[in-house]
RNA sequence: GCGAAAGUGGCGGAAUUGGCAGACGCACCAGACUUAGGAUCUGGCGGGUAAAACCGUGGGGGUUCGAGUCCCCCCUUUCGCACCA
């Protein structure tokens, strides 16, 4: 094509240069003008439903490439499912409460609400410019009272059911700011604003949600989540951390200890209790407070241990610090054998797991072993690996400690329990402890109740009132929402801004009418995101959070897509919330999400894109230079979506070049009627057949990937191959020798295949092909297996596994014939060099391996 | 320390079940068209060789007619968990 311009219909002149800006702005304007374009049909729809959801973003100011990737994956899927005829729900919203808005307010003197809403407006326009097919009529912003009033409503329900409660708990406190810090604001033990100032721990009354109530079910139902990545399921299992064991009481040895006291330990290995040669307490164990009261020396030592443990936790290397401890001078009595064992305080015992106290069995626990070695505590073997082995001589401990939990294990030195296996012993000894009232079977979880109080402004006010007469009183439902005041002074003044507003704080008690004080804590933003996807089904409801029949139609979510960083907290809280909603009868599903997809990170120059590293690529910049289609298609082409993606600008150019080729081809050949006078002139039936075959193979590959592994990179590569093949026959097309209907069909299918990946270009070319319909309502192309089939198959001929020749035979050639042809091949004969054929292996459709000797 | 994933040309990545390693794209090289081209089109492109042979999927062993793919040992990277009793 020498000329840059070409005459098409009615002599209209069109540039052959692909200009994404012009095309995308044209369609953007049209799509903006039709808000119903991507709207889901009501739940009375006859179509099968499909709910595809991407994790809602925090409105930080601008989209980053991670967002673009996430939404490009979801949008491709949504568009594909639309074309498959589903009633697709594809909504978007904003996780709009949170700390950055307050920081921005302090820094720039902009009210958090204003800052947040203007960010939302900007990011929404970015999303729209990128062409994501969202149903904006369902948009949700969690910072608006229409939304957060339902957080408050849920909170009241939780409170009603005893699942929300108050408890003293530690918070991070910066003495310089005189304020509470979120965990993320603590940088290696110091305040993020005052790098020299150590963060202190303060005890405050805070609100908790009893997630542990559902611990068993949250764990058990992980088994049902077959559409979730195994990695996420494992992470959740570990996070919940269920552990079966026993609580055993050790009485304090009389005279020295506080009267009647006992120490309850948690153990999973009650079978080793005869080997317990000390008790170890966490430094913060309440009993330790009693012990140190009259012992300044011990007091000082314990303080050290507490400090050491705190530091290790902060720096993250708890687990590798050297074990230390101090003997308290007190003893406890092992209830199984009445033996006196010393009580120690040790830095490797955690107060927030189990009971904060353990029985130490150095012979069968590595940590206890290490400790006992260091302090010369007796190491007593009470279990052996096999029934045949002799007990080792007393005190000898050459081998590293082994837990011996197999069936062949054998208890020794354990009184009446000698001779039992580990499993039998656990059962019998637990029962024994229960009978004698000094122990019981128990299950502990690593999962903790969820502390939702934040001493912050920009969040959902907790709808509670503190009355001097009535105590804690919930705000009545009909008085919701408790609106977050806006004329607020966000400066650092040592208390939550809300607590400094008398007009907010001073209320009358809903119960007695007397003067009362409003709760000034706000909710953790994970509350907002725990149920937002239900609200999408009916966001405009004003009298209840959701409409149950509508939710029952849409739920569970068919496909949820987001970053793996939410694998634990967000996804556990969401699962908890769903179970709670089910139990108060407003939804019927047990789990919110059927299939979960976690996409990889966007990397540049070997590191995750971040402002700190200065390797951020701006989506706006990419859209301006290459267009939304190229940017999106590249995000899908550069790597499979579950892997990390290395952003290379040259790659974007490559995709842009590919889309240009598509554009030029269709522009040149859209007007097929003038290109060919029909089949009669087709000179080369082979090339026609080849195009058909390639087309149907491509449809098959792309369709299979949407149904299966989502390797959109190979989908796009397949479409590239198709386009390359079409370029290969362009001379024949130009010469009028290519059948009209084959060409027309190929072009239509090509545009349809491209629609999920490059929606703007697809829409434009669909119109160029003379189509008026909405592409999303256009059926996805079907492949014809007969047309996709190869007519001729090339066999690789190997000699002892090494490639020696190739032969082409018609498809369906019997194996015996293939074998004959292979043995008759000249190159094969030459390489055989007179050797004997031992065996011939024919793999149908692939290769022949001739084994010679 | 424990667990998971990964390691393939100069680069991003293909190779769905053991069957022709390197699809597709980038970069690069050559040619065509051009006053020109950072446009477009055509061809080439793992190493090696004149051409073959031969060597090549982190390293070492093994199973097999045949291994990137399966098994064993080791190395590296990334992620998650980390004194959980």
Nearest to A431 by CA among A272, A274, A270: A270
- Which nucleotide is closest to the Cα of A309 by its C1'? B83
Whether residue A293 is predicted with pLDDT greater than 90 in this model: the reply is no
Question: What average pLDDT does range A262-270 have in this prediction?
Answer: 93
State how far the Cα of A590 lies from the Cα of A222, in Å rounded to an integer.
11
Nucleotide lying nearest to A727, CA to C1' measure: B41
Residue A773: CB less than 7 A from any atom in strand B: no
pLDDT confidence of residue A306: 87
pLDDT at A7: 34
Burial A296-321 (b: 16+ CB within 10 A, else e): eebeebbeebbebbeebeeeeebeee
pLDDT band (50, 70, 90) for residue A123: very high
Given a cut of 70, whether residue A260 has pLDDT beyond it is no
- What tokens does A557 get? 């979510």
List CB contacts of A317: < 8 A, sequence separation 6 or more.
Answer: none
Residues 90-149 of A with CB under 7 A from strand B: none
A570 CA → B5 C1’, Å = 22
Highest averaged pLDDT of the listed ranges A150-159, A289-298, A680-689, A836-845: A150-159
Average pLDDT over residues A74-98: 97
**Number of Cβ atoms within 10 Å of the Cβ of A777:** 10
In 3D space, the residue among A206, A158, A199, A161 whose CA is nearest the CA of residue A181 turns out to be A199
Read off the pLDDT of residues A185-243 as tens digits, 9 standing for 90 and up.
666 667 766 777 777 778 889 999 999 999 999 999 999 998 999 899 999 999 999 99
**b/e sequence A81-96, b meaning 16+ C-beta within 10 Å:** bbbbebbbbbbbbbbb
Averaged confidence pLDDT in chain A? 88
Residue A736 predicted with pLDDT over 60: yes
**Confidence class for position A1, pLDDT limits 50, 70, 90:** very low
pLDDT of residue A259: 53
pLDDT higher for A191 or A93?
Answer: A93
Kindly determine whether the C-beta of residue A833 is less than 7 Å away from any atom of nucleic acid strand B.
no
Range with the lowest mean pLDDT among A467-481, A721-735, A758-772?
A721-735
Chain B: nucleotides below 7 Å from protein CB are 1, 3-4, 11-16, 19-21, 23-27, 33, 39-42, 54, 65-67, 79-85
pLDDT of residue A184: 60
Q: Tell me, in Å, how far CA of A639 is from C1' of B57? A: 19
Minimum-distance nucleotide, CA of A241 to C1': B84
Q: Indicate yes or no: strand B within 7 A of the C-beta of A356.
A: yes
- Tokens coding A777: 């309502």
For the stretch A501-530, pLDDT in tens is 999 999 999 999 999 999 999 999 999 999
- Give the closest nucleotide to A640 (alpha carbon vs C1'): B13
| Confidence check: pLDDT of A93 > 60 | yes
pLDDT at A232: 93
As a rounded value in angstroms, the CA-to-C1' distance for A802 and B52 is 15
Between A585 and A322, the higher pLDDT residue: A585
Residue A342 and residue A362: Cα distance in Å, rounded?
Answer: 14
Has residue A683 got a pLDDT over 70?
no
Per-residue pLDDT tens digits for A420-454: 988 899 999 999 999 999 999 999 999 989 989 88
Q: Is the CB of A801 under 7 A from strand B?
A: yes
With distances taken from each CA to the C1' atom of nucleotide B25, the closest residue turns out to be A654
pLDDT of residue A267: 95
The CA dihedral of A53, A55, A60, A62, to the nearest 10 degrees, is -50
Structure tokens at A562: 């987001």
The predicted-structure confidence for A41-56, as pLDDT tens digits, reads as follows 998 899 999 999 999 9
Q: Determine the nucleotide nearest to A658 by Cα–C1' distance.
A: B25
**At residue A532, what are phi and psi to the nearest 5 degrees?**
-55, -30
- Residues 653-712 of chain A sitting with CB below 7 angstroms of strand B: 653-655, 657-658, 660-661, 664, 701, 704-705, 708-709, 711
**pLDDT at res. A647:** 92
Q: What percent of chain A has pLDDT over 70?
A: 91
Report CA(A243)–C1'(B4) in Å, whole number. 21
Q: How far in angstroms lies nucleotide B53's C1' from the CA of residue A48?
A: 62
Q: What is the mean pLDDT of residues A92-117?
A: 91
Nucleotide nearest to A664 (CA to C1'): B40
Specify the pTM: 0.91
List of residues 6+ apart from A265 with CB closer than 8 A: A247, A248, A250, A279, A354, A355, A357, A358, A359
Contact between the CB of A44 and strand B at under 7 Å:
no
> In the predicted model, is pLDDT for residue A820 greater than 70?
yes
Q: With cut-offs at 50, 70 and 90, classify the pLDDT of residue A836.
A: confident
pLDDT at A677 over 60: no
- Confidence band of A6 (pLDDT split at 50, 70, 90): very low
Bigger pLDDT: A145 or A792?
A145
Nucleotide minimizing C1' to CA distance for residue A846: B19
Instruction: Give the residue-averaged pLDDT of A463-476.
Output: 96
Q: pLDDT digit string (tens) for A601-645?
A: 998 877 888 877 788 899 999 999 999 999 999 999 999 999 999
Decide if pLDDT at A147 tops 90: yes
DSSP codes, A63-87: --HHHHHHHHHHHHHHHHHHHTT-E
A345 touches strand B (CB under 7 A): no
- Nearest nucleotide to the CA of A323, by C1', is B83
Q: Across residues A687-702, what is the average pLDDT?
A: 93
Range of lowest pLDDT (A308-312, A599-603, A757-761): A308-312
Share of chain A above pLDDT 90, in %: 60
A541 contact to strand B (CB, 7 A limit): no
Asked which of A57-61, A216-220, A483-487, A849-853 is least confident by mean pLDDT, the reply is: A849-853
Q: Are A171 and A206 in contact (CB under 8 A)?
A: yes
DSSP state of A847: E
Q: Each residue of A170-185: pLDDT tens digit?
A: 887 777 766 677 666 6
- Evaluate if the CB of A442 falls below 7 Å from strand B: no
A266 touches strand B (CB under 7 A): yes
Q: Measure A597 CA to B69 C1' (Å).
A: 25
Q: Which nucleotide lies nearest residue A446, CA to C1'?
A: B84
Structure tokens at A356: 């904060």
User: What average pLDDT does the segment A704-708 reach?
Assistant: 91
Neighbours of A289 (CB within 10 A): 11
CA of A704 to C1' of B61 (A): 39
List, for residues A320-356, the tens digit of each pLDDT value. 678 889 999 999 999 999 999 999 999 999 998 999 9
Buried b (16+ CB within 10 A) or exposed e, A467-477: beeeeebbbee
Q: Over the stretch A566-576, which tens digit does the pLDDT of each residue have?
A: 888 899 999 99
pLDDT category, A838, cuts 50, 70, 90? confident
Residue numbers in A 450-509, CB below 7 Å of strand B: none
Computed on alpha carbons and rounded to an integer, the radius of gyration of chain A in Å comes to: 35
HEC-encoded secondary structure of A670-700: CCHHHCCCCHHHCCCHHHHHHHHHHHHHHHH
pLDDT of A745 higher than 70? yes
* CA of residue A708 to C1' of nucleotide B60, angstroms: 37
Answer yes or no: is A564 CB < 7 A from strand B.
Answer: yes
Mean pLDDT of A827-833: 78
Answer for the pair A246, A440: CB distance below 8 angstroms, yes or no: yes
Strand B and A714 CB separated by under 7 Å:
yes
Within A 598-637, residues with CB less than 7 Å from strand B: 637
Quick one: tokens of A759? 């929606």
d(CA A442, CA A576): 22
- Which range, of A165-174, A269-278, A386-395, A518-527, averages the lowest pLDDT? A386-395
- A316 sits within 7 Å of strand B by its CB: yes
Q: Could you identify the residue whose CA is nearest to the C1' atom of nucleotide B16?
A: A709
- Strand B contacts (CB < 7 A) among A residues 724-753? 724, 727-728
- Helix A619-626 / helix A112-130 crossing angle, nearest 10 deg: 30
Look at residue A396 in the predicted model and tell me its pLDDT: 45
Q: Is the pLDDT of residue A397 over 50?
A: no
**How distant is C1' of B60 from CA of A788, in Å?**
44
pLDDT score recorded for residue A193: 67
């Amino acid at each position: 094509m020498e000329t840059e311009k070409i005459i098409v219909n009615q002599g209209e002149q069109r540039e052959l240069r692909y200009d994404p800006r012009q095309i995308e702005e044209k369609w953007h304007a049209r799509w903006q003008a039709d808000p119903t374009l991507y709207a889901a049909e009501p739940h009375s729809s006859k179509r099968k439903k499909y709910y595809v959801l991407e994790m809602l973003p925090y409105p930080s100011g601008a989209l980053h490439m991670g967002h673009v990737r996430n939404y490009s994956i979801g949008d491709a899927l949504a568009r594909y499912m639309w074309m498959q005829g589903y009633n697709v729900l594809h909504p978007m919203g904003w996780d709009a409460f949170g700390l950055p808005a307050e920081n921005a307010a302090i820094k720039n003197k902009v009210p958090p609400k204003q800052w947040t809403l203007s960010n939302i407006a900007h990011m929404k326009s970015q999303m729209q410019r990128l062409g994501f097919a969202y149903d904006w009529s369902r948009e949700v912003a969690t910072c608006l009272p229409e939304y957060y009033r339902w957080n408050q409503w849920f909170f009241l329900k939780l409170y009603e059911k005893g699942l929300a409660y108050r408890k003293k708990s530690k918070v991070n406190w910066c003495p310089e700011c005189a304020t509470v810090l979120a965990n993320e604001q603590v940088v290696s033990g110091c305040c993020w604003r005052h790098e020299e100032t150590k963060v202190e721990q303060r005890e405050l009354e805070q609100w908790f949600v009893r997630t542990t109530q559902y611990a068993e079910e949250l764990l058990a139902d992980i088994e049902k989540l077959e559409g979730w990545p195994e990695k996420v399921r494992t992470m959740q299992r570990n996070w919940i951390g269920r552990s079966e064991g026993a609580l055993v009481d050790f009485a304090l040895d009389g005279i020295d200890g506080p009267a009647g006291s006992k120490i309850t330990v948690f153990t999973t290995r009650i079978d080793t209790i005869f080997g317990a040669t000390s008790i170890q307490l966490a430094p913060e164990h309440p009993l330790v407070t009693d012990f140190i009261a009259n012992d300044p020396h011990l007091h000082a030592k314990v303080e050290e241990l507490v400090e050491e443990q705190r530091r290790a936790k902060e720096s993250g290397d708890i687990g590798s610090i050297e074990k230390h401890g101090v003997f308290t001078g007190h003893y406890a009595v092992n209830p199984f054998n009445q033996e006196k064992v010393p009580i120690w305080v040790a830095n490797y015992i955690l107060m927030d797991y189990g009971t904060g106290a353990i029985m130490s069995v150095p012979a069968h626990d590595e940590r206890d072993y290490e400790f006992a070695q260091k302090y010369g505590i007796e190491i007593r073997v009470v279990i052996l690996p096999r029934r045949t082995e002799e007990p080792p001589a007393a005190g000898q401990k050459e081998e590293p400690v082994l837990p011996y939990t197999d069936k062949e294990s054998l208890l020794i030195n354990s009184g009446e329990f000698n001779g039992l296996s580990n499993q039998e012993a656990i059962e019998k000894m637990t029962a024994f402890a229960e009978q004698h009232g000094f122990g019981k079977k128990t299950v502990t979880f690593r999962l903790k109740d969820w502390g939702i109080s934040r001493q912050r402004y920009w969040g959902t006010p907790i709808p509670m009132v503190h009355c001097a007469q009535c105590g804690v009183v919930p705000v009545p439902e009909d008085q919701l929402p408790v609106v977050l005041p806006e004329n607020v002074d966000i400066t650092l003044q040592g208390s939550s801004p809300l607590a400094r507003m008398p007009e907010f704080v001073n209320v009358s008690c809903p119960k007695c009418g007397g003067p009362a004080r409003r709760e000034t804590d706000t909710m953790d933003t994970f509350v907002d995101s725990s149920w937002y996807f239900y609200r999408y089904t009916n966001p405009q409801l004003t009298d209840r959070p959701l409409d149950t029949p509508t939710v029952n139609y849409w739920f569970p979510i068919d496909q949820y897509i987001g970053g793996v960083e939410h694998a634990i907290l967000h996804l556990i809280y969401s699962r908890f919330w769903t179970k709670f909603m089910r139990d108060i009868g407003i939804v019927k599903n047990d789990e919110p999400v059927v299939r979960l997809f976690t996409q990889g990170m966007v990397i540049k120059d070997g590191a995750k894109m971040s402002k700190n590293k200065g390797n951020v690529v701006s989506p706006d910049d990419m859209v301006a230079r290459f267009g939304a289609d190229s940017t999106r298609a590249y995000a899908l082409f550069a790597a499979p979506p579950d892997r990390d993606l290395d952003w290379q600008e040259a790659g974007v150019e490559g995709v842009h070049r590919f889309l240009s080729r598509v554009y030029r081809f269709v522009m040149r050949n859209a007007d097929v009627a003038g290109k060919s006078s029909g089949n009669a002139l087709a000179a080369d039936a082979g090339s026609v057949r080849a195009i058909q075959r390639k087309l149907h193979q491509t449809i098959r590959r792309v369709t299979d990937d949407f149904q299966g592994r989502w390797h959109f990179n190979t989908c796009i590569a397949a479409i590239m191959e198709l386009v390359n093949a079409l370029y290969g026959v362009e001379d024949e097309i130009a010469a009028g020798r290519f059948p009209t209907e084959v060409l027309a069909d190929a072009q239509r299918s090509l545009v349809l295949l491209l629609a999920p990946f490059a929606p703007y270009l697809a829409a434009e070319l669909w119109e160029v092909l003379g189509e008026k319909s909405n592409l999303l309502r256009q059926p996805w192309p079907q492949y014809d297996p007969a047309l996709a089939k190869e007519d001729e198959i090339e066999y690789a001929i190997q000699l002892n596994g090494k490639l020696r020749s190739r032969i082409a035979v018609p498809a369906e050639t019997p194996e015996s014939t293939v074998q004959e042809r292979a043995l008759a091949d000249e190159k094969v004969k030459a390489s055989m060099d007179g050797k004997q054929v031992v065996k011939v292996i024919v793999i149908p459709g692939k290769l022949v391996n001739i084994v010679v000797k």
